[in-house]
Structure 1
Amino acid sequence: MACPGPPGERLPPLDTTYYFDQLIDHDDPSLGTFKQRYWHTWEFYEPGGPIVLTTPGETNADGYESFLTNVTVNGMIAQQQGGATIVLEHRYYGYSNPYSDLSTESLRYHTIQQAIDDLDYFAYNVVLPMPNGAHVTPDEAPWVLIGGSYAGALTSFTKVNKPDAFYAAWSSSGVVESIVDLWGYFDVVRTHMPQNCSADVQAVIAHIDEVFTSGNAADIEQIQDMFGMSLAHLDDFAAALREPLFWWQDLQPSPYLSETAFFDFCDALEVEGDEIGPAAGWGLDHALNAWSSYWTGTYLPSVCPDGDDESCFGTYDASSSRYTDTSVNNAERSWYWIVCNEMGFFQDGAPNDTETIVSRLIQPVYDERQCTYMFPEAFSAPQSPRASATNEAYDGWFVQDDRLFFANGQRDPWRDATVSADGTNFTSTAMQPIALGDGFHVSDLYAVNGEADPTIASVQAQGLAAMKDWLADWEAPQKRSVIEGR
């Protein structure tokens, strides 16, 4: 372990919160600043070592102290290279908010570009609470940017938009290509989940879609009764059935991180006494009864204990607190602002020519309608997010930048928005490697996953080797002024 600074100087606790004066609007500094939270350690730091920065992205960053340590890739890089680590809270998440609410008016400075500018401005202007912390800007030390999922996309976007600030970067499961109709999210789940479960889920969904589009009121009511729901809108019913499938995203190879809820759902469909369903599944009748029994006996009581399914799953009440709650630290609202405006990523049913585990009643307009409820001042009618403009601005799948490492997982439901998407064939190069393991979503960020899965260990090893090679070549650039650094 690197010596932590001068003799006798103790490291502050990892959960020590620091504050940086961040510009509200990088296009108009006269608007002033807000307090942006960050966490930091120099446990492994040696003079000349890199500064390793991450943002957790669309969440409150308090509690992400492990990303300062070597249980994550961030700390592994810092330990290997003698660096310091930082976790920076993304604007409009947690308590890094320019204003006292998340109203539409307040959110006007919540954009991808402003977030990129935050990272750049922070790197060039922060005085870190560590030995020599006033002299580790990108002019004087190499900075490494790391992010996963949306933050992985932000990592790629920042390398494109601010090529001088971060010498090297690691994008884990980076959703670099903004896609409005991301039906491929569930297609990855369909093809990688237990195939008997997949077949039975497909059979049930196909049947429900047929009934719901038939106009036969008695048959529709029978389905609702089986699942113990009486929702006014059939697309809300269909959307509710997606919920157990979202649990796939929580899976990890490590027994310490794995969630079992997804497999509990599949077991409810496929395990009958001592028998397990065949490869092709049990078939519609068994699957429909098994799913509805699981739903009424296990799922509904846990998520909707008061029995008001309209409050639990209904999306047509514009007065719902889900749409009207503008208090800070409401991550769902902050994230919806980005997806409604700039990225999309609506996880829907597959096209008619593709098998689907999600109802085709769920299409982008289902989410776009909810954008009008959440932000009526911005959207008077449902409209498509500006995904194409985002891809054009930051290069999406077609990014070409030096010292940018992409790490992806074959079983990641977000993979179709990454550079390892099905149907793409992007070349891995020495300066922009693309490493694909058998992992799930952001699996490579956790050291323990590499211990559990050799393919993830390989991804991590490739990334660490690239960082070592790249950082060995770093030379201090010509110093930038504070104004230029903005």
Structure 2
Amino acid sequence: MALQRRGSLLCTAALLVLLCGVVGGQGRFKGFGSFRSIDGGQDTGGRAVSEELWFTQRLDHFNGADSREWKQRYFVNEAFYKPGGPVFLMIGGEGPSNPAWMQNGTWLTYAKQFGALCLMLEHRFYGKSHPTADLSAGSLRYLSSRQALADLAHFRAVTAEARGLAGRKWVAFGGSYPGSLAVWFRLKYPHLVHASVATSAPVRATVNFPEYLEVVWRSLASEGVECPVLVQEASRALVGRLNDPKTYDNVTKDFNLCSKLQIKTEMDSAYFLELLAGNFMDVVQYNADNRGFEGARGGNITIKVLCGVMGDSSLGEPYARYAAVARLMMDTFSIKCLNASYQSYLRDMTDASWDGPAAGGGRQWVYQTCTEFGFYQSTDSPNQPFSGFPLAYHVKQCADFYNVSGEQLAAAVAQTNEFYGGYDIRSSRIVLPNGSIDPWHALGVTRDITPDLPAVFIKGTAHCANMYPARSEDLPQLALARDHIFLLLQKWLKQ
């Protein structure tokens, strides 16, 4: 479930993933976080968890003259299904669908109680669902949320007929970008989906999203008001060093860079600064989420841990503590050195082959941000802890990677909001959970729209927390949120 980002240390090692992990995603909706899930049909113990199945889809749902088809991956869990029960459809997002979700997660707890058949459909262009021969700009024309929703609609219609599910009520589940798709599936295809659980779903597109980092400030401050202040001081100190070539050897050593730091353009410095800020952004987004079953690493690194490092005066000035955080993250993810080169990133992101270093989701997701969503987590607000990666840096990447101009980007984002309505959701039977720690809640729904479009705002929790398996140390309000969603489904499935 993850809206990806592209700035963490892990992104450089394995170029990003936005989902809440599940079903697909990466990290911060520009993603959505980069504590990647493990793909491949195995649980963390090495046992096969679910068989890969394949569904025939049209390449272009909106051109009747185009008869090209491709195979889309999906998974099935029939363990809880009782004749006459509902169908639960987990929506894939911007990364490989993780089969571990066919044996874990709150949605399966609900499925057992309702006797539901569980299906999970991987998003086109992610994981093993390859509609085209490559990831060139010409091929990526067929990657959009609208095409993905049409995939869901066709899959639902054909599967209902093939499996004898006529008259069964379908419920869509999704977290992060797939949460947005769950909202829009119910909105655009109300005759096919009866209800939706849309967790941590950003429903409004925006080119500039500085509010993300404002929430990061507040979330860091939950461990003490001095924590984000120290991060801000460290980030500003690093900017000062990047303006003085005499410091480059020391910076290279401090952050264990793979090669000597070279700052020739503003893109070089912005990339390096966002890379380091991404450590804090990712940890905040997934703070204390129960993600181990996915194969996610780094779950022991929390806001409390990072703020503990930043508050440790024995490490030296805040700049030195910032470097200590970077080394901690590199150790956690077994990264030998940090590649801080924007040119290297540019080379990876413009490789259009399915074997390229960004084909795991990075090239595809950033394309979607440049042609549909924006979501650029810039430092343009004064009320956030980082420096040096303004909106212009993000927009320039759209031109560098896909030849998409800033004007085209702005027009595409406006069209997305015109098509889906942004916050103005006119529908029913959609529940919208969000966590207060999660920066994505700034583009989500945190108050009830109507009694039939309720929000569930969970204090103290992060991205998609209610979707992960329950555990004894969960906050009471998280357990109550899961129960509240169950009661809503119980009511809606009777309607």
Shorter-chain TM-score tier: 0.7 to 0.9
Whether the 8 Å CA contact 2:88–2:116 is kept in 1: the answer is: yes
Whether the 8 Å CA contact 1:365–1:382 is kept in 2: the answer is: no
Counterpart of 1:403?
429
Q: Secondary structure at the match of 1:190?
A: helix
Counterpart of 1:346?
376
Alignment of 1:72-471 (within 5 A): 72-126=105-159, 134-137=163-166, 140-193=167-220, 194-195=223-224, 196-209=226-239, 227=255, 230-232=261-263, 233-245=268-280, 246-254=282-290, 259-262=299-302, 263-272=304-313, 286-295=317-326, 298=328, 312-316=339-343, 320-327=347-354, 329-351=359-381, 354-359=382-387, 361-376=388-403, 379=404, 384-385=409-410, 386-420=412-446, 426-438=447-459, 439-448=461-470, 452-471=474-493
Whether the 8 Å CA contact 2:376–2:394 is kept in 1: the answer is: yes
User: Separation in 1 of the partners of 2:481 and 2:332?
Assistant: 37
Whether the 8 Å CA contact 1:412–1:440 is kept in 2: the answer is: yes
Q: Secondary structure at the match of 2:70?
A: strand
User: Separation in 2 of the partners of 1:305 and 1:433?
Assistant: 43
Whether the 8 Å CA contact 2:248–2:261 is kept in 1: the answer is: no
Whether the 8 Å CA contact 2:49–2:100 is kept in 1: the answer is: yes
* Unaligned ranges ≥5, structure 2: 1-47
Q: CA deviation at 1:445?
A: 0.5
Q: Secondary structure at the match of 1:36?
A: strand
Taking a change above 3 Å as real, the CA distance of residues 347 and 435 of structure 1, as seen in their structure-2 partners, is: same
Counterpart of 2:6?
none
The residue type paired with residue 125 of structure 1 is V
Q: Secondary structure at the match of 2:57?
A: strand
Counterpart of 1:32?
68
Residues 275-316 of structure 1, C-alpha deviations (whole Å, 9 max, x = no match): xxxxxxx9xx72123323554x55567789675x6xx12224
Q: CA deviation at 1:34?
A: 1.0
Counterpart of 1:276?
none
The residue type paired with residue 426 of structure 2 is Q
Q: Secondary structure at the match of 1:174?
A: coil
Whether the 8 Å CA contact 2:248–2:262 is kept in 1: the answer is: no
For normalisation by structure 2, the TM-score amounts to: 0.78
Q: CA deviation at 1:161?
A: 1.4
Report which of the two structures shows the higher radius of gyration computed on alpha carbons: 1
Q: Secondary structure at the match of 2:409?
A: coil
User: Separation in 1 of the partners of 2:489 and 2:330?
Assistant: 47
The residue type paired with residue 163 of structure 1 is P
Residue number among 55, 62, 79 corresponding to 1:20 in the alignment: 55
Q: Secondary structure at the match of 2:493?
A: helix
User: Separation in 1 of the partners of 2:471 and 2:273?
Assistant: 34
Q: Secondary structure at the match of 1:180?
A: strand
User: Separation in 2 of the partners of 1:48 and 1:320?
Assistant: 52
User: Separation in 1 of the partners of 2:472 and 2:192?
Assistant: 29
User: Separation in 2 of the partners of 1:160 and 1:127?
Assistant: 20
Alignment of 1:36-55 (within 5 A): 36-55=72-91
After TM superposition, the structure 1 stretch with the greater mean CA deviation from structure 2, 330-339 or 260-269, is 260-269
Taking a change above 3 Å as real, the CA distance of residues 106 and 136 of structure 1, as seen in their structure-2 partners, is: same
Taking a change above 3 Å as real, the CA distance of residues 450 and 135 of structure 1, as seen in their structure-2 partners, is: farther
Q: Secondary structure at the match of 1:101?
A: coil
After TM superposition, the structure 1 stretch with the greater mean CA deviation from structure 2, 189-198 or 264-273, is 264-273
Residues 38-97 of structure 1, C-alpha deviations (whole Å, 9 max, x = no match): 100221112221110012311111x3342x34x423212221211100010011111212
After TM superposition, the structure 1 stretch with the greater mean CA deviation from structure 2, 246-255 or 85-94, is 246-255
Whether the 8 Å CA contact 2:198–2:430 is kept in 1: the answer is: yes
Counterpart of 1:480?
none
Whether the 8 Å CA contact 1:39–1:65 is kept in 2: the answer is: no
Taking a change above 3 Å as real, the CA distance of residues 223 and 32 of structure 1, as seen in their structure-2 partners, is: closer
The residue type paired with residue 165 of structure 2 is V
Q: CA deviation at 1:389?
A: 1.5
Whether the 8 Å CA contact 2:122–2:129 is kept in 1: the answer is: yes
The residue type paired with residue 383 of structure 2 is E
Counterpart of 1:423?
none
For normalisation by structure 1, the TM-score amounts to: 0.79
Taking a change above 3 Å as real, the CA distance of residues 220 and 73 of structure 1, as seen in their structure-2 partners, is: same
Q: CA deviation at 1:225?
A: 6.7
Residue number among 33, 50, 57 corresponding to 2:93 in the alignment: 57
Counterpart of 1:6?
none
Q: CA deviation at 1:393?
A: 0.7
The residue type paired with residue 299 of structure 2 is E
Q: CA deviation at 1:172?
A: 0.4
Q: Secondary structure at the match of 2:163?
A: coil
After TM superposition, the structure 1 stretch with the greater mean CA deviation from structure 2, 89-98 or 165-174, is 89-98
Taking a change above 3 Å as real, the CA distance of residues 98 and 294 of structure 1, as seen in their structure-2 partners, is: closer
Q: CA deviation at 1:453?
A: 1.6
Taking a change above 3 Å as real, the CA distance of residues 467 and 368 of structure 1, as seen in their structure-2 partners, is: same
Q: CA deviation at 1:222?
A: 6.9
User: Separation in 1 of the partners of 2:273 and 2:375?
Assistant: 18
Whether the 8 Å CA contact 1:73–1:447 is kept in 2: the answer is: yes
Residues 306-362 of structure 1, C-alpha deviations (whole Å, 9 max, x = no match): 75x6xx1222458613321421653111111111110011112142xx332121x21
Residues 108-130 of structure 1, C-alpha deviations (whole Å, 9 max, x = no match): 111111111111111111268xx
Residues 4-42 of structure 1, C-alpha deviations (whole Å, 9 max, x = no match): xxxxxxxxx741111111111111244232111110022
The residue type paired with residue 461 of structure 1 is D
Counterpart of 1:483?
none
Residues 361-411 of structure 1, C-alpha deviations (whole Å, 9 max, x = no match): 2122212222223224xx367853522221121112221211001111111
Aligned residues: 426
Whether the 8 Å CA contact 2:89–2:173 is kept in 1: the answer is: yes
* Unaligned ranges ≥5, structure 1: 1-12, 274-281, 421-425, 474-486
After TM superposition, the structure 1 stretch with the greater mean CA deviation from structure 2, 405-414 or 191-200, is 191-200
User: Separation in 2 of the partners of 1:319 and 1:294?
Assistant: 25
Taking a change above 3 Å as real, the CA distance of residues 445 and 300 of structure 1, as seen in their structure-2 partners, is: closer
Q: Secondary structure at the match of 2:423?
A: helix
Whether the 8 Å CA contact 1:348–1:358 is kept in 2: the answer is: no
Q: Secondary structure at the match of 1:320?
A: helix
